[in-house]
Amino acid sequence: MDKIGLGVAATFTAEPLGDALRFWLAELDVEGDVAFAPYDQVFPSLLDPGSVLGRAGAAVVLVRAEDLDRDPDGGPEDGTGELDAVATDLAAALRASARASGTPHVLVVCPPSPEHGSPEAHARFAAGLARAFEGDRAVSVLTSAEPYEPEPEDIHDAFADRTGNVPYTDRYFAALAAAVARRLHAVTTPRPKVVVADCDGTLWDGVVGEDGPDGVVIGPQRLEIWRELARQVAAGRLLCLCSKNEEKDVREVFTRHPELPVGLDDVTAMRVGWEAKPDALRSLAAELDLGLDSFLFLDDSPVECAEVRAGCPEVLTLQLPADAAGAADFLRHCWPLDVTSVTAADRERTRRYQEERRRDQARGEMSLADFFATLDLRVTITPAGPEHEARAVQLAERTNQFNLGTRRLDGEEKFVVDVRDRFGDYGVVGLTDVRTEGDTLRAGAFLLSCRALGRGVEHRMLAHLGTLARERGLARVALAFRATERNRPARDFLAALPARVEPDGEETAWYVLDAGDAAAVVHTPGPAEERAAGPVRTVEAAAPAGWAAVERIATRLTGADAILDAMRAARPVTEVAGASPVEATVMRLWAELLDTAPTSVDDGFFELGGHSLRLVQFMARVRAEFGVELPFDTLYTTSFTVAEVAKVIEERQLADTDDDELAGLLDELAGLSDEEIDALLDSGNG
């Protein structure tokens, strides 16, 4: 979420969400503001490129099933087909908006009001939309405010809903904003590729070198940490261990605990010994051939964390709380570990790194020519299908070194490239995107993952295009190229081809080959291939959010109440001498709601920037705080000051006093002696 603005559309009055979203923009040090579409204009806003959603850097859409029900008299429980049709139309509008704007969209399916419809209908509506966008990288669906969801009784505000169609409490709006901000952070911020964990005090309680493998304790809360690491492995993160211990002791803990959700086979690499942890992390980065800025390091020791932050500032180093429960809760709220979509390639990443180690070992044991001769490389090129869509988008976004630079995916046909050799399956690692123009087959996109680079796969991809062109009676094959800072391997490949270069604008050129020459291209290992056949540096992730912000969010902003407290702390209230308790509370409420905080009991609500929506919010807060409802005729006046509204609140409290309660107090007073009454009066005056 870097330098973006948020556009919000909802089927209800959602402006109270704005303050909480702005809080998160400030918390994450993101430039931009929050803009709202007109009330209940979700579909027009999605379909109009010039709307708030179309112009924003990210779009947030909030819906309730009851607001979209086309048959309100029958109710969703009597016409689920109607809601299904609405869900289909909504999904189509979201896809169209995301495609037109090219920005991330978050759809939030919000809870229905307690008196409306059936929970089953809402659940079906939410589940259908979640399925519609499963694996979609442009549209993300939230069906709850987890993990910030408050108790059910703290979600709905019937009074504010009835008064101004503001259906939720401040607490729930704060929870929704946190969930939305967290999801946008996940889909717009690069994720770490490597998670490195300490052992003693992190994966278990105790010191294995002193307590022995049988003496360390992995209780239920520590087990939650292991489960989180297992989720990271399943999402394609590489798991490594970095601990000052004897390696045999650490391995023995794994052996003694076969029930753990993470085994040694899931650990890509480890540095267990007595070297300084910054040195150990640099060694891991060299072995994995990844940048340190793609590492996330977890340790409970403040000393070790400080050492790593000083020695490896690129690493996102996070200090876990010492207690197991606190550490588990920290990881639940650690935003950089969030996962939104996982491809088959992600799930296989650890295995492929292990296979690459075996390839490296084989390369070191024989000549390069013998290595290629025994590699048994099998390249399969097939038309891309729906099942390849997520991987194709991922390749286009992440491939930098062997990418001809145009990133075009608008051709008539797409082909995916699957590679395997005697060591294992690389999966889908290549993509071409072609169209026919006259007698030429033009490839707007031609890219190959770095893990297959330097083995001749790129030559077979070009030969496939040459063969395809000849089969279709075309004379030429043209590859679009635009130089970037990272695609030198692609440039070297093109330079070795028997091609002529045709400029196409200031930055792009076409490398044009006769179809026969393209079909005859073969791989000949040489010095360049010697370099490429070795480990290749993959795309480095941009540096994640600073460790202080991540730790603050994971330890202090873990619930709606904590978020509201932080928002209030950012807008302090001026203390006014002589203000009554009710006046002081009114000033606090206004400071939270209005652009300008009051500094005197004579300040007016509308003079400080109040308007009708803020008025509804204030009335709802007064009702929650004092148990009274303020009359509109009192509020819509020029004398609506802190002092005047405090006076009305006090009068309403007195008027609403229950007659039976008052009678009981009088009976109690009647039973007191004069001396006891005098004592009560004296204590009250005191």
195, 584 contact by CB (below 8 A): no
pLDDT of residue 421: 79
Helix (H, G, I), strand (E, B) or coil at 116: coil
If one counts every other C-beta atom within 10 angstroms of the C-beta of residue 572, the result is: 10
Most distant pair of Cα atoms in the chain: their distance: 116
The Cα 476–Cα 478 span in angstroms is: 7
Angle between helices 220-234 and 324-332 (to 10 degrees): 30
Q: What average pLDDT values come out for the chain (686 residues) when binned by 10 residues?
A: 75 92 90 90 93 92 85 50 85 93 93 81 90 88 93 89 88 96 91 93 90 92 95 91 92 94 91 91 90 94 88 94 94 92 65 65 64 77 87 79 70 86 80 91 87 81 94 93 84 90 86 93 62 37 64 93 88 78 83 81 80 78 81 67 81 67 61 68 59
Q: 378-411: buried (b, 16+ CB within 10 Å) or exposed (e) per residue?
A: ebebeebeeebebbbbbbbebbbbbbbbbbbeeb
The answer to whether residues 431 and 390 touch, using CB atoms and an 8 Å cutoff, is no
- β-pair type (6-10, 58-63): parallel
What is the DSSP secondary structure assignment for residue 576, as one 8-state letter? -
CA end-to-end span of the chain, whole Å?
Answer: 56
Tell me the H-state helices in 69-157: 80-101, 119-132
Residue 664 burial by CB count (10 A; 0-12/13-18/19+): exposed, middle or buried? Answer: exposed
Q: Beta-carbon neighbour count of residue 459 at 10 Å?
A: 18
Phi-psi label, residue 376: left if phi above 0, alpha if psi -120 to 50, beta otherwise: left
- CA torsion sign for 22, 25, 31, 35 is negative
302 DSSP assignment: H
**Going from the N-terminus, what domains does the chain have, and what CATH number goes with each?**
6-188 (3.40.50.1110), 194-340 (3.40.50.1000), 367-533 (3.40.630.30), 574-655 (1.10.1200.10)
Q: Which residues of 486-516 are buried (b: 16+ CB within 10 A; e: fewer)?
A: bbebbeebbeebebeeeeeeeebbbbbbbbe
Helix (H/G/I), strand (E/B), else coil: 443: strand
Buried b (16+ CB within 10 A) or exposed e, 267-291: bbbbbbeeeebbebbbebbebbebb
**pLDDT given at position 489:** 83
pTM summary value:
0.67
Say what the pLDDT of residue 593 is.
79
Estimate the crossing angle of helix 560-569 against helix 17-27, to 10 degrees: 80
Q: Classify residue 104 by burial, with Cβ atoms within 10 Å: 0-12, 13-18, 19+.
A: buried
Q: What is the pLDDT of residue 174?
A: 95
**E-state strands within 265-314:** 267-272, 295-299
pLDDT at 526: 53
Task: Fill in the DSSP letter of residue 264.
Answer: G
Distance (Å, rounded) from C-alpha 370 to C-alpha 9? Answer: 62
Cis link prior to 44 (omega < 30° from 0)?
A: no
What is the structure's pLDDT at 534?
A: 41
Strand pairing class (105-109; 58-63): parallel
